[in-house]
Structure 1
Amino acid sequence: MLDLMPVRRADAARNAACIVSAARQLISERGWDLVLDEVARRAGVGSTTLYRNFPVRTDLLAVVYQDQANELIGLATELLDTPNAETALFAWLDRFADHVGSVPPLALAVTGCGPEHVGPIFERWHAALTASATRLLERAQDADAVRPGLDAAGLLALTSTIALLDPQRYPFRPIELLRSGLAA
């Protein structure tokens, strides 16, 4: 499983846990648009401590949503055992879209379209999810269920873009359109 928090001294680990807890509270109160200095105040730490642990906002968001990422990694492993490779891939992509769609800064960072800077924690989050997607995509390609020549990073960026679509404005399931477009 993905563990985005490095091993630290006990006091440093406590500070990091307080920062993550404060970020979760602020997200539940006000949504995903975090102001890092406010997170530090809520956590009872200085901004230097916050930035030492989470140099960029996407790093903090990746840790806050690490449990969802671990669920996705576990789901990918489970889906590798299902008989239909195409269904497995798109079931996982649908869940991935839900995950990144719930945190637009992560989706924008995945696509490279947003103003978000990415840090080492986000990079590990993205690498772990890309590895899961790669296994499912290669299995679907080996089964001739999706086009050859696709790569997981591009597929995740496309899925992240779809996740940002407003469901009120686009009432159809865009992931189904993606599915038909990728068919072999």
Structure 2
Amino acid sequence: MPRSDARRNYARILAVAEEEVAARGADASLEQIARTAGVGSATVRRHFPTRPALLEAVFRRQLDALAERARSLAEAPDARTALLDWLRALTTYAATARGLATALVRDEESMAHACSTTMTAASEPLVRRAAEAGAVGADVTAADLIAVVTGIVLATEHHRAPAAEAQRLLELAVRGISPAR
């Protein structure tokens, strides 16, 4: 078990990193994060040996919450509504978490794999139920929908209101993927 000062440093670095990434995106300065957290660069590297490791930790908490939301929606009475509610939540988070979509498409395999695996696994039951209900085509996969959301977020990240624009584009995509009955 890490010492209490190491746990405090980890928590402080992560909190500062969340703020810096939110403000500056995935390219936030590791040196600035260290300065703001009141630790040295070596301390940041000890806790997070690579930028992808730090970014994964920054995004992990919310991704876990999104995965939990998917699990809670998995048994909702209306499979289409449940899937769309989750996709909207994912889109909103990804559009407001500056750098998440960019980090996912960069050559940062461990982070991309971890995030993609978490979101794909969480949404598979929702997609399967929606397909069984005829709300989406049988050939639509969770990975397909994650790719659609990622593309939308990348396309809107420099928009003056990225979350609103991302939601608007998601609604356009939904009409094509799952027209209302």
Indicate whether the TM-score tops 0.5.
Answer: yes
What is the match of residue 75 of structure 2? 81
1:40 and 2:30 are equivalent in the alignment:
no
What is the match of residue 173 of structure 1? 168
In the superposition, the TM-score normalised over structure 1's length comes to 0.77
Which one of 133, 154, 162 corresponds to residue 143 of structure 1?
Answer: 133
Report deviation, 1:25: 4.1
> Cα–Cα, structure 1 residues 167 and 136, in superposed 2: closer, same or farther, change >3 Å?
farther
Stretches of structure 1 that go unaligned for 5 or more consecutive residues are: 1-7
What is the match of residue 9 of structure 1? 2
Write the distance in 1 (CA, Å) between the matches of 2:18 and 2:24: 9
Q: Is the 8 A contact 1:137 1:152 kept in 2?
A: yes
Aligned length: 172
Q: Is the 8 A contact 1:141 1:147 kept in 2?
A: yes
Q: Is the 8 A contact 2:88 2:170 kept in 1?
A: yes
Write the distance in 1 (CA, Å) between the matches of 2:166 and 2:93: 19
What is the match of residue 66 of structure 1? 60
Report deviation, 1:168: 5.7
> Cα–Cα, structure 1 residues 171 and 65, in superposed 2: closer, same or farther, change >3 Å?
closer
Kindly provide the CA deviation profile for residues 31-70 of structure 1, in whole angstroms up to 9, marking residues without a partner as x. 4351011111222333233233324434323323433223
Counting aligned pairs with the same residue, the percent is: 33
Q: Is the 8 A contact 1:20 1:63 kept in 2?
A: yes
Higher helix share: 2
1:160 and 2:150 are equivalent in the alignment:
yes
Residue identity matched to 2:177: L
Q: Is the 8 A contact 1:56 1:119 kept in 2?
A: no
Stretches of structure 2 that go unaligned for 5 or more consecutive residues are: none
SS of the aligned residue for 2:99 comes to: helix
Report deviation, 1:135: 1.6
In the superposition, the TM-score normalised over structure 2's length comes to 0.78
Kindly provide the CA deviation profile for residues 92-129 of structure 1, in whole angstroms up to 9, marking residues without a partner as x. 0111011111123211233x2x4x63445x64333222
Write the distance in 1 (CA, Å) between the matches of 2:21 and 2:143: 27
Kindly provide the CA deviation profile for residues 119-149 of structure 1, in whole angstroms up to 9, marking residues without a partner as x. 45x6433322221111211111122210122
